[in-house]
């Protein structure tokens, strides 16, 4: 009898300790918006083919557990970021455009909310707007992702501890037709609202318990500067992750949950901007690396999950024009995103008619993009650029290219199409694809994902919840 009792005690202890060892106290959920296998492999190839000093560091795609996840939504083979964010945050398929609700408009409880209910610190951050679909899915429930004012208000009511991003869309309810002020609502809910690169230091100095940290709004309200355009005084995704770790580790003995979105990967993939996407994915990699450094200090208690909500652009390595050849080294010579090229070059040259010459354009292309200098141009390619410069910039007769986040003139479009071709990257669409996206995992509980085969986007928050014994 005594023996049986001992054995059963031993068995219970073993099961319990195995469960405890695998229960991650610190959970990181990184979402590269639009980051498919092609975007990741392009970064990997870029590191292989260049002398970029970051190449020797740890990269998320080297994590020991990898898989693929399907991304289709309830009603479409190609998901949008709202349905995909809902699936990742809440573990349920829903219709495109719906946020934090199932297909029958029943509000769902995200894994972040369940973490909060379990007494953990929660941080939600994005390089784009905080009330965009991906971050929004973790704290809001709305029938339409475009209900920006309401989504932002629900963030104020979330009781989450650390919120950061570029800005809010419609913070004063103008488009919603219900004038208000979300910043006042955040302050009323106990948030210290800070802006700009030193915002987190200001929040620490103010002894903030809850922090809302937004960019100083230098270039665009819809995104922090893209990594390829980054200037010294901008907020960055790695900066947000570092601050979130600091704030939540200090204040929560029960552990934390951090969701960080690299939103620019999607924006630049919509624009089919190959060099911009690689720089943006590199920045996302740098943000994950900070979590990896934390994991190295707390290896038995930390879980890092890195994935994407969907693939954008149909990015393919290899194109018809140059079959097996790629030139990832060209990426290092491009110093402007497609958006920055449009605003810096085209607008400035248009404002000064004296600058409006092909010679000036040619010099700009060589200095800022390497086109015609490091990246050689054939006579035919140069002639084609000159022709579109004439019709688009001088005559203004060429039609514009419309993509989800920006409109581009025909000259900008031609320059970036040529750049993709020179680098050796092809695109199938300006929208999202139904391609599966990669999953990379390290840390406590990683094994649970390893044996599960090809996963679906609804599986991740469920597995995380089970690992953390969430209700």
CA-closest candidate to residue 46, choices 305, 228, 225: 228
- The distance of closest approach from Cβ of residue 38 to Zn ion in the complex, given in angstroms and rounded to an integer, is 15
Q: Which is nearer to Zn ion, 266 or 409 (CB)?
A: 266
Q: Which is nearer to Zn ion, 268 or 371 (CB)?
A: 268
- The distance of closest approach from Cβ of residue 322 to Zn ion in the complex, given in angstroms and rounded to an integer, is 28
Size of the site for Zn ion (CB under 5 A): 1
Q: Which is nearer to Zn ion, 229 or 266 (CB)?
A: 266
Neighbours of 384 (CB within 10 A): 14
* SS3 call for 438: strand
Span from 51-59, 114-122, 217-225, 261-269 in contact with Zn ion (CB under 5 A): 261-269
Neighbours of 96 (CB within 10 A): 17
- The distance of closest approach from Cβ of residue 36 to Zn ion in the complex, given in angstroms and rounded to an integer, is 12
Span from 15-23, 167-175, 262-270, 433-441 in contact with Zn ion (CB under 5 A): 262-270
- The distance of closest approach from Cβ of residue 276 to Zn ion in the complex, given in angstroms and rounded to an integer, is 14
Q: Which is nearer to Zn ion, 266 or 283 (CB)?
A: 266
Q: Which is nearer to Zn ion, 268 or 377 (CB)?
A: 268
- The distance of closest approach from Cβ of residue 279 to Zn ion in the complex, given in angstroms and rounded to an integer, is 18
Residue 266 as a binder of Zn ion (CB under 5 A): the answer is yes
Span from 11-19, 92-100, 266-274, 322-330 in contact with Zn ion (CB under 5 A): 266-274
Residue 261 as a binder of Zn ion (CB under 5 A): the answer is no
CA-closest candidate to residue 244, choices 150, 360, 160, 118: 160
The interface with Zn ion within residues 357-396 (CB under 5 A) comprises none
DSSP 191-245: EEEEESTTHHHHHHHTT-SEEEEE---SS-SSBSPPGGG--TT---HHHHHHHHH
Residue 309 as a binder of Zn ion (CB under 5 A): the answer is no
Which H or E run includes 60?
Answer: none
Instruction: From residue 226, give the alpha-carbon distance in Å to each of 101, 170, 236, 266, 461.
Output: 31, 21, 9, 11, 29
CA-closest candidate to residue 70, choices 427, 309, 315: 309
Q: Interior CA angle at 43 toward 329 and 366, to 5°?
A: 35
Q: How far apart are CA 302 and CA 292, in angstroms?
A: 9
Q: Which is nearer to Zn ion, 33 or 409 (CB)?
A: 33
The interface with Zn ion within residues 130-159 (CB under 5 A) comprises none
Q: Which is nearer to Zn ion, 147 or 266 (CB)?
A: 266
- The distance of closest approach from Cβ of residue 138 to Zn ion in the complex, given in angstroms and rounded to an integer, is 17
- The distance of closest approach from Cβ of residue 67 to Zn ion in the complex, given in angstroms and rounded to an integer, is 22
Q: How far apart are CA 107 and CA 276, in angstroms?
A: 36
Q: Is the distance from CB of 434 to CB of 77 less than 8 angstroms?
A: yes
- The distance of closest approach from Cβ of residue 97 to Zn ion in the complex, given in angstroms and rounded to an integer, is 12
Query: Which class for 1: exposed (0-12), middle (13-18), buried (19 or more C-beta within 10 A)?
Result: exposed
Task: Enter the tokens of residue 67.
Answer: 């898989």
Span from 12-20, 264-272, 414-422, 442-450 in contact with Zn ion (CB under 5 A): 264-272
Q: How far apart are CA 358 and CA 390, in angstroms?
A: 8
Instruction: Point out the residue whose Cβ comes nearest to Zn ion.
Output: 266
Span from 258-266, 301-309, 435-443, 448-456 in contact with Zn ion (CB under 5 A): 258-266
- The distance of closest approach from Cβ of residue 260 to Zn ion in the complex, given in angstroms and rounded to an integer, is 17
CA-closest candidate to residue 260, choices 32, 22, 88: 32
Q: Which is nearer to Zn ion, 80 or 161 (CB)?
A: 80
Q: Which is nearer to Zn ion, 163 or 271 (CB)?
A: 271
Residues near Zn ion, by CB under 5 A? 266
């Amino acid at each position: 009898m005594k023996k049986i009792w001992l054995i059963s005690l031993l068995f219970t202890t073993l099961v319990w300790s195995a469960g405890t060892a695998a229960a991650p106290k610190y959970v990181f959920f990184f979402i590269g918006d639009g980051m498919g296998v092609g975007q990741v492999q392009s970064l990997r190839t870029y590191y292989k083919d260049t002398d970029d000093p970051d190449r020797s560091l740890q990269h998320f795609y080297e994590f020991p557990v990898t898989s693929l996840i399907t991304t289709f939504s309830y009603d479409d083979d190609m998901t949008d970021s709202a349905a995909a964010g809902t699936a990742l945050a809440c573990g349920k398929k829903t219709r495109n455009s719906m946020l934090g609700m199932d297909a029958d408009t029943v509000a769902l409880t995200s894994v972040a909310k369940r973490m909060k209910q379990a007494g953990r610190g929660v941080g939600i951050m994005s390089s784009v707007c905080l009330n965009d679909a991906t971050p929004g899915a973790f704290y809001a429930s709305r029938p339409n992702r475009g209900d920006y004012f309401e989504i932002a208000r629900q963030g104020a009511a979330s009781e989450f501890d650390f919120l950061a991003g570029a800005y809010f869309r419609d913070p004063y309810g103008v488009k919603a037709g219900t004038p208000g002020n979300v910043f006042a609502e955040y302050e009323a809910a106990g948030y210290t609202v800070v802006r700009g690169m030193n915002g987190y230091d200001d929040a620490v100095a103010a002894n903030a318990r809850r922090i809302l940290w937004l960019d100083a709004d230098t270039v665009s309200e819809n995104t922090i500067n893209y990594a390829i355009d980054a200037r010294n005084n901008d907020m960055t995704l790695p900066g947000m992750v570092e601050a979130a770790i600091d704030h939540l580790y200090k204040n929560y003995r029960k552990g934390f949950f951090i969701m960080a979105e690299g939103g620019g990967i999607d924006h630049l993939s919509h624009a089919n901007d190959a060099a911009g996407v690689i720089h943006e994915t590199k920045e996302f990699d740098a943000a994950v690396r900070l979590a990896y450094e934390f994991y190295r200090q707390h290896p038995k208690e930390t879980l890092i999950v890195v994935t994407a909500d969907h693939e954008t652009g149909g990015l393919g390595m290899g194109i018809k024009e140059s079959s097996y050849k790629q030139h990832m080294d060209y990426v290092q010579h491009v110093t402007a995103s497609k958006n920055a090229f449009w605003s810096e070059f085209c607008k400035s040259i248009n404002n000064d008619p004296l600058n409006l010459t092909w010679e000036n354009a040619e010099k700009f292309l060589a200095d800022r993009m390497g086109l015609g200098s490091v990246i050689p141009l054939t006579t035919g390619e140069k002639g084609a650029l000159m022709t579109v410069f004439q019709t688009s910039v001088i005559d203004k007769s060429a039609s514009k290219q419309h993509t989800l986040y920006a409109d581009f003139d025909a000259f900008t479009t031609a320059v970036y199409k040529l750049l993709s071709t020179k680098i050796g990257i092809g695109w199938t669409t300006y929208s999202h694809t139904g391609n599966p996206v990669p999953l990379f995992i390290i840390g406590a509980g990683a094994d649970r994902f390893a044996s599960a085969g090809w996963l679906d986007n609804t599986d991740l928050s469920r597995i995380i919840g089970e690992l953390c014994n969430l209700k």
